[in-house]
């Protein structure tokens, strides 16, 4: 059954913008005042949806789609302002540094935020309000199913100079009970610090979510299909993954050659042992979805086709060209998830190589799919991504985090495709400055249940503002909007379009 977030059938609109891209004085967007101010701007424009990327601690290349915990939140999203408000930091002890306002320096920001969190933890032992300690104890009990393993993983990782867990001593690598018991005592203070950090992050994110509800802005969270090999999840639950006797992947994930890469994409993440997952009632996976449902009002399921079949590549391969499709759990998984979680407010990320069985699974459970306008103009009038060919239950995007900005996309198009675009729009060729807003208008005027655009397209910025380049390991995820951009007239213009197309929040 379709989740309650879409059950009303009301047309809506929103913006795709990761937390990290918000302006703030702390080098990166966070869960604090800058996010609340952003929600105010969305609400003022009548935009009822805000979509962000996964909130977990990012793995290689700072990718949020390769978290080293599927349940934890990213420490960089902590709001120093709210730590001060809670009495965990003194305002005069927090120095605002001259951070880059247009891109995230992950290493510098990480050192800064981790130092603040360590101070907050130390101060909590003497100055935290009593209700904060009570809330912390309640949080630890409710989240023990992942929190204890995660905190121990982080503490041991720190103790071993951030080495991959398979480079730890064998007794820790293979989780020998007596060794784990000793380690818990030896690193107890750090375990407590990591648990307290997650409590603070969850507390701040809940505050953000509640504020969004008050403003009638609904949040779209994101569940990565995969996790990092070097993650608390794989270390704590190796039985859930296709690993060899040494705990290393036998096959790894990716996709075959596609629009983004002639060699395919070699992600390198471990794949799931769906037989073991099934025998456990898919409890680990449904706990993942439950966690994101608690943080948001709808859930984008990344790489939805992986639930039908995932591209498995032999471990050690240097490209994704050699591989095979490995069956996923299909409808059995979503029946089990629905039984445990109730109606699933899911958006199926059904992009890429989509076969009839993937579409059938999506439609069986009435999940809206995704349509990206940048993929629509190949000259085929039957292309399902053209607005006139949309199914009603679709979320239409001008672009996603994996695409170039629409202006950058147009500037890179061959002349033939540019000409087709203008013919489709029914007017003479325009300039690159027109294209992003032409696509926004197409999405907003379509019959899609929700129309979305990355903030970069609303701001009409070029390729320099691209968030991610699939297949490129470095240089991604750092783009930030400035205060001036957030305050520009572009949001007012989008608000006017949102009202005109009947997509505005109804108060």
145-204, pLDDT tens digit by residue? 999 999 999 999 999 998 899 999 999 999 999 999 999 999 999 999 999 999 999 999
Find residue 478's DSSP bridge partners.
none
| DSSP H or E stretch at residue 266 | strand 265-270
Cα gap 55→75, rounded to integer Å: 10
- The string of pLDDT tens digits covering residues 273-291 is 999 999 999 999 999 999 9
For residue 316, the tally of other CB atoms under 10 A from its CB is: 7
User: Rounded to the nearest 5°, which phi and psi values hold at 145?
Assistant: -60, -20
pLDDT at 487: 86
Q: Which of 66, 402, 438, 457 is catalytic?
A: 402
H or E element in which residue 255 lies: strand 251-255
Residue 10 has pLDDT above 80, yes or no: no
Token pair listed for 499: 């009202």
The catalytic position among 302, 350, 438, 457 is 302
- The predicted model scores a pTM of 0.95
Of 30, 143, 222, 349, which is the active-site residue? 349
Decide if 457 is catalytic.
no
Residue 4 pLDDT exceeds 70: no
- CA–CA separation, 122 and 412 (whole Å): 52
Cα 209 from Cα 218, distance rounded (Å) = 8
- Coil, strand or helix at 16: strand
The answer to whether residue 402 is catalytic is yes
Pick the more confident residue, 228 or 392.
228
What's the pLDDT band for 1 if we cut at 50, 70, 90? very low
pLDDT at 6: 64
Phi, psi of 439 (to 5 degrees): -70, -40
Has residue 410 got a pLDDT over 60? Answer: yes
User: 349 catalytic, yes or no?
Assistant: yes
CA dihedral 383, 388, 392, 395 (to 10 degrees): 70
In 319-375, the DSSP E strands lie at 324-327, 346-348, 369-372
Q: Which helix (H) or strand (E) holds 485?
A: helix 483-486
């Amino acid at each position: 059954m379709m989740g309650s977030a879409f059950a009303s059938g009301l047309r809506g609109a929103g913006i795709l913008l990761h937390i990290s891209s918000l302006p703030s004085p702390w080098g990166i967007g966070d869960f604090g005042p800058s996010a609340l101010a952003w929600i105010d701007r969305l609400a003022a424009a009548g935009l009822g949806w805000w979509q962000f990327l996964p909130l977990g601690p990012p793995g290689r290349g700072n990718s949020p789609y390769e978290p080293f915990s599927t349940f934890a939140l990213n420490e960089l999203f902590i709001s120093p302002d709210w730590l001060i408000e809670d009495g965990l930091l003194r305002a005069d002890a927090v120095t605002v540094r001259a951070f880059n306002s247009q891109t995230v320096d992950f290493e510098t920001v990480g050192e800064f935020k981790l130092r603040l969190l360590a101070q907050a933890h130390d101060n909590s032992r003497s100055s935290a309000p009593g209700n904060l300690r009570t809330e912390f104890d309640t949080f630890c009990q409710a989240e023990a199913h992942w929190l204890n393993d995660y905190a121990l993983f982080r503490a041991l990782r720190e103790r071993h100079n951030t080495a991959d867990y398979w480079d730890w001593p064998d007794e820790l690598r293979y989780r020998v009970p007596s060794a784990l018991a000793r380690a818990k005592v030896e690193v107890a203070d750090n375990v407590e610090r990591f648990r307290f950090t997650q409590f603070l992050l969850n507390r701040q994110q809940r505050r953000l979510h509640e504020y969004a509800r008050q403003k009638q802005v609904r949040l779209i969270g994101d569940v990565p299909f995969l996790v990092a090999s070097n993650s608390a999840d794989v270390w704590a639950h190796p039985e859930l993954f296709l690993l060899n006797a040494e705990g290393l992947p036998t096959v790894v994930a990716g996709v075959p050659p596609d629009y983004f890469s002639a060699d395919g994409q070699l992600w390198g993440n471990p794949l799931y042992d769906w037989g073991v997952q099934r025998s456990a009632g898919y409890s680990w996976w449904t706990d993942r979805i439950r966690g994101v449902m608690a943080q948001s009002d709808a859930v984008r399921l990344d790489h939805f086709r992986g639930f039908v079949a995932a591209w498995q590549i032999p471990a050690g391969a240097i490209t994704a060209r050699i591989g095979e499709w490995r069956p996923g759990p299909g409808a059995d998984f979503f029946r089990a998830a629905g039984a445990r979680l109730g109606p699933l407010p899911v958006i199926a990320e059904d992009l890429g190589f989509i076969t009839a069985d993937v579409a059938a699974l999506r439609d069986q459970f009435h999940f809206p799919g995704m349509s990206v306008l940048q993929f629509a103009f190949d000259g085929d009038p039957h292309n399902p991504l053209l607005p006139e060919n949309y199914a009603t239950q679709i979320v239409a995007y001008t672009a996603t985090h994996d695409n170039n900005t629409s202006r950058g996309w147009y500037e890179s198009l061959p002349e033939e495709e540019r000409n087709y675009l203008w013919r489709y729009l029914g007017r003479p060729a325009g300039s690159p400055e027109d294209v992003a807003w032409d696509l926004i208008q197409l999405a907003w005027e379509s019959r899609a249940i929700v129309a979305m655009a990355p903030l970069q397209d609303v701001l009409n910025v070029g390729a320099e503002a691209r968030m991610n380049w699939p297949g490129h390991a470095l240089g991604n995820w750092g783009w930030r909007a400035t205060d001036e951009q957030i305050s520009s007239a572009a949001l007012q213009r989008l608000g006017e379009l949102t009202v005109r197309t009947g997509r505005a929040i109804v108060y």
